[in-house]
Structure 1
């Protein structure tokens, strides 16, 4: 069985739809996603299960969770009902229109138990969102007494060198800070190289022979991480650092059937070599000569299953992770 018996800290994904299509997004969020949002019933079930598993606090993110500020209040009510603390809500500030409306939204969040807003501050978001919105949102938080968790403050001065009233492309950043600016960002930001982030940086990665990857890759142990897991709006448990793989949280509590979630199980028990063996044997997968590491091989197989064959596999969810990258 695939089973989770204890969890420490993680996040809730209320929606995958986002106002931006950032190059570094490990969840492949974008405006193209369906306009779905977590329902109160799903939230209630998730918080109840997490509490039983030992998790007493979560952060909330997306997508952009404050695209629907009225819908997030129901999620916060469900958290309070189940004794779940909210560490912070992540936001890119794109929804900011003016001080008065922002203050009203922030004050309502505070009344529902939110004390901190994580505000994205980086060149990736600045490709879509004027820095002025970030600055104005920080000021609005101060007015209502909400703490700001700036992610990451070290980019502030670089972004502030450009016009705050408009978004800026990476061409502008490279002109200011050098042609290798994009390549310096992963270490500075601490990027999770999955989803769109992997697509962005794959051209710069060292290629490895398929045989070498198969020989060296061990079990992924996706469920071994107790920290920084996520549960999305559909109730899917997403292991830390690996979006695009999912098993319903309520099934993992009792023990999920490994025959039903074969992709997940093969990765967890035998790693990408096990997945590749399964894909070649049963899904007509033909490996390439080289890949940019084991994650590239894993994504290539998963893309073959979801996009190439059009399969609706229960553990490769949501399929938007592959379709909207």
Structure 2
């Protein structure tokens, strides 16, 4: 069985819809996603399961979880009811409009046990969100006594060198700081090169032959990792290393059938080599000559299964991860 007996630390994805379509987003969030948000009943089920698995606190992210502040309050209430603490809420500050409305949202969050916002501070987000909103939200947090977890202050001076009244493209940053800025940005940020981040940086990565990738293939043991996992609004357990792969948390807690989740199980036990063999033998997958490593090959296979073959595979959810990259 595919089973998890306990979980240590992770996050809740309340929605995939986002105000931005950042080039570094490993979850492929964007405005294109359906306007779905975690329901109170799903939140109750998730937090009660997490508590049974000994997970006592989580962070909340998206998408942009504060696009609909009224929708997040029942989620926070469910967490409190089940004895799961909220470490912080991630936000890109796009929802900020004025002092009065921002203060009201922050005060509501505090009433429900939230004491820290992780506020995104990086050039990727600045392509969509003017820096004045970030500054204004930080000031609002200071006014109401909400803690700020700035992610990452290392980029403050870069962004502050620009006009803070409007967004700025990464091309503008490259013109100001050098043509290799995008490549350096990835290392400074410490990106997880999955989802849209892989699409952004794949052309800069060293290529290997298909055969070389298979030779280096190892079982993907991180798929059932107990650190930095996520659970999304549909109740899916999303592994710490691989968005776009999922198994319902409720099934993993009891023991999921490997025969039902063949992609997940094959990757965990036989790595991308096993997945490639499965895809070629049963689904007619035709590999490219070269790939930028194992993850690139894995995504090529999964994109083929979801987008080209149109297969409704239970462990390649949500499909938006592939459609809206």
Query: For the superposition of Structure 1 and Structure 2, which TM-score range results when normalised by the shorter chain?
Result: over 0.9
**Separation in structure 2 between the aligned mates of residue 284 and residue 85 of structure 1, nearest angstrom:** 47
In structure 1, stretches of 5+ residues that fail to align are none
Cα distance in 1 between the residues matched to 2:202 and 2:38: 32
Q: What's the counterpart of residue 84 of structure 2?
A: 84
- SS of the residue corresponding to residue 87 of structure 1 reads strand
Q: Provide, for residues 266-288 of structure 1, a one-character-per-residue CA deviation record: whole Å limited to 9, x for no partner.
A: 00000000000100000000111
Partner of 2:128: 128
Matches within 5 A, 1:211-226: 211-226=211-226
Which segment drifts farther, 287-296 or 13-22? 287-296
Alignment map for 1:243-254 (pairs within 5 Å)? 243-254=243-254
Q: C-alpha separation between the residues in 1 aligned to 2:164 and 2:269?
A: 49
> 2:145 aligned with 1:142, yes or no?
no
> Cα distance, 1:44 vs. partner?
0.5
Task: Tell me if the contact between 1:42 and 1:234 (Cα under 8 Å) persists in the aligned partners.
Answer: yes
Instruction: State the partner residue of 2:290.
Output: 290
Q: CA–CA distance in 1 between the matches of 2:158 and 2:108?
A: 33
Unaligned runs of 5+ in 2: none
Q: How many residues align?
A: 325
TM-score, normalised with respect to structure 2? 0.99
Aligned to 1:152: 152
Give how far 1:224 is off: 4.2
CA displacement 1:177-226 (0-9 Å, x = unmatched): 10000000111111110000000000001111111111210100134421
Residue of structure 2 in register with 1:191 after alignment:
191
Is residue 2:220 matched to residue 1:228? no
CA RMSD of aligned residues (A): 0.6
Whether 1:18 aligns to 2:18 is yes
Paired residues of 2:91 and 2:117 also in contact (CA < 8 A):
yes
Q: Determine the C-alpha separation between the residues in 1 that align with 2:73 and 2:228.
A: 23
Cross-structure match for 1:179:
179
Which SS does the other structure have where 1:60 is aligned?
strand
Which residue number in structure 1 is paired with residue 55 of structure 2? 55
Q: 1:73 — aligned with what?
A: 73
